[in-house]
Structure 1
Amino acid sequence: MPAPRRLIAPALAAATLLTCAAAVPAAGACRPLPDRYAVSRTEGVLPEGIDVRPDGTMYVSSDGTGALYRGRVTSPQMRPFRADGATARGSSRGIHTDRTGRVFSVGKGRLTVHAPDGRLLDSVDAPNGPLGAPDLNDLVVTPDAVYVTDWANPVVLRASLDGGKVGSLEPWADVRGAFPGFPDRYWLLNGIVADPTGRILLVASNGTEAVWRIDTATREVSRLDLGDTSFGADGMVLHGRNMYAVLNYGAPHGVYIARLDAQLRSGTVVHRVTGDRFDLPTTLARHDCRLYLVNSQNDEPPGTPPYTVTALDDPVCQADG
């Protein structure tokens, strides 16, 4: 992605946040949680993607080496995840898990799937796109498919899921027709999310500074209407009708939250959380009313260890009481 102005990363904080169970807590149910996590202290890691599972297991990918890391929301230090063969592609970006705990990740031109113990279950290479070699950026897992964005080509790719087996990656939606005349090479597709049914996809395009809606039944591509807001998002999370997006180019770095309509066709930005706590954040995850943002340092490789994840309270939960 284009290199925005670098922010100075704060030191790894020892402060903690206090989180309680959503239900009426038993004695001692409240526990302190870190507000910052160290992914790695090895130079050149450059973290990129993140996923937090319902049980609090956290996965982070490395754009710099291709390695994957795993930890818990209760511990400030993450550790390398075995992930057989992940480093062979040299870069890992988007990372997500499915309901069974399988770990899906993409980077360069390859999608890999690992078991929770690190065994490689599937490895699928992407074909060249209309502009040349693929540069896979992010993915979303739906009930019947995996959809993947390509930073280098204005296409969304799809691999079917049949009985747990991942099919071949195929070009599935060419987005250029939704914005005629826009230069092909500047679409720069980033984050991708889906509604729970897998019927609607939202795809971020850093180049067009917009989010695009795709109906998976018809492949119709239309612009998500956010009014006059320029919204060149990187990574995103969709939780109900709330879309959480990380912005890091052309806007103050941080997380922006939009409330969408029931059809996911339009919305309004209702919260912005910015400031020097972030160091070129690339994406985020949401877990138990907390947001977890990756500080990539990818604007000045190899960056300065430790490479971190910043945690903060979800302002939507706070507003809802």
Structure 2
Amino acid sequence: MSVPARLVAPALATATLLICAAAMPAQSAGRPLPDRYVVSRAEGVLPEGIDVRPDGTMYVSSDGTGALYRGRVTAPRLRPFRADGATARGSSRGIHTDRSGRVFSVGGGRLTVHAPDGRLLDAEDAPDGPLGAADLNDLVVTPDAVYVTDWANPVVLRAPLHGGKVGPLEPWADVRGAFPGFPAQYWLLNGIVADPAGRTLLVASNGTEAVWRIDTATREVSRLDLGDTSFGADGMVLHDRTLYAVLNYGALHGVYIARLDAQLRGGTVVHRVTGDRFDLPTTLARHDCRLYVVNSQNDEPPGTPPYTVTALDDPECRANG
């Protein structure tokens, strides 16, 4: 989900509301939660993906080494997570868990599934795409499949789920038909989210500076209508009809929040949270009215330790009382 230094464009000015003041820390059992989490102090980690489970367990992936880290929202330090074989692929990007606590992650050309104790349960390799070797970026787990984006190819891949078992990872949707004539190598697919039923996917594309909607029954691809707003998101979270996205290309770096219509076909950007608290953010997670944003430092690898996650209050929770 990261943007190479050569692709990070100068920030564009915006006349829309900027929310730059630091959010007050949330409370847990009467104690304030940290507003910053240290993923690692080892050089070159370059954190990339994040998932926070309903019980407050946090997982973060490393684009720099492939390692996975685990912690709690109540504690400011994460620790290495065993994740057998994860470092062998050299990079881990998207990371998400399912209801049973299994840890799904992607990087390079491989999807892996780990048990909560770190045992490797499954590994599926992606075939080459129309432009060459796969470079997997993010994933979403639906009731019947795992969908994966490919940074290097304009293709969404799919691995079926049967009785908890993961099937082969295969090309599923070539998105080029939705934007004829756009150079294939610049689609740069990033974050991916789905509605709870798995009927609709939203796929971010840095290159097209847009989010694309895919109907999983028909594989029809259309552009999410956010008006004249350039919305080349990296990582995303979909909560009900609210889309949370991290932008780090073609806009001020930070968290952008849009309220969508019932069909997830369009919406309006209602919040922009930017400022120097972020250091090339790549994605985010949402838990109990708080947002957890990964500071990748991937614009200047190997970056400067410590590598962190920034936490802030969800402005949508405030807006809705």
Q: TM-score, normalised by structure 1?
A: 0.94
Partner of 1:284: 284
- Which ranges in structure 1 are unaligned for 5 or more consecutive residues? 8-14, 21-28
Partner of 1:57: 57
Partner of 2:193: 193
Matches within 5 A, 1:7-22: 17-19=25-27
The SS at the match of 2:160 is strand
Larger RCO (CA within 8 A; separation ≥ 6): 2
Matches within 5 A, 1:295-314: 295-314=295-314
> 1:76 and 1:277 mapped to 2: Cα distance?
16
**Paired positions, count:** 306
> 1:137 and 1:45 mapped to 2: Cα distance?
17
1:19 CA displacement: 1.9
Q: Give the partner amino acid of 2:300.
A: E
- Which ranges in structure 2 are unaligned for 5 or more consecutive residues? 12-22
> 2:146 and 2:245 mapped to 1: Cα distance?
20
> 1:16 and 1:114 mapped to 2: Cα distance?
35
Q: Is the 8 A contact 2:26 2:290 kept in 1?
A: no
> 2:71 and 2:318 mapped to 1: Cα distance?
26
1:134 maps to 2:134: yes
Matches within 5 A, 1:51-90: 51-90=51-90
Identity of aligned residues (%): 88
> 2:31 and 2:161 mapped to 1: Cα distance?
38
> 2:289 and 2:222 mapped to 1: Cα distance?
30
Partner of 1:219: 219
Partner of 1:114: 114
> 1:270 and 1:41 mapped to 2: Cα distance?
35
Q: Is the 8 A contact 1:6 1:280 kept in 2?
A: no
1:238 maps to 2:241: no
Q: Is the 8 A contact 1:16 1:33 kept in 2?
A: no
Q: Give the partner amino acid of 2:199.
A: R
The SS at the match of 1:196 is coil
1:156 maps to 2:156: yes
Partner of 2:14: none
What RMSD over aligned residues (CA atoms) do the two structures have, in Å? 1.3
1:18 CA displacement: 3.3
1:32 CA displacement: 1.3
1:30 CA displacement: 2.4
Matches within 5 A, 1:90-109: 90-109=90-109
Q: Is the 8 A contact 2:258 2:270 kept in 1?
A: yes
Q: Could you list the runs of 4 or more consecutive aligned residues of structure 1 that deviate by over 6 angstroms after TM superposition?
A: none
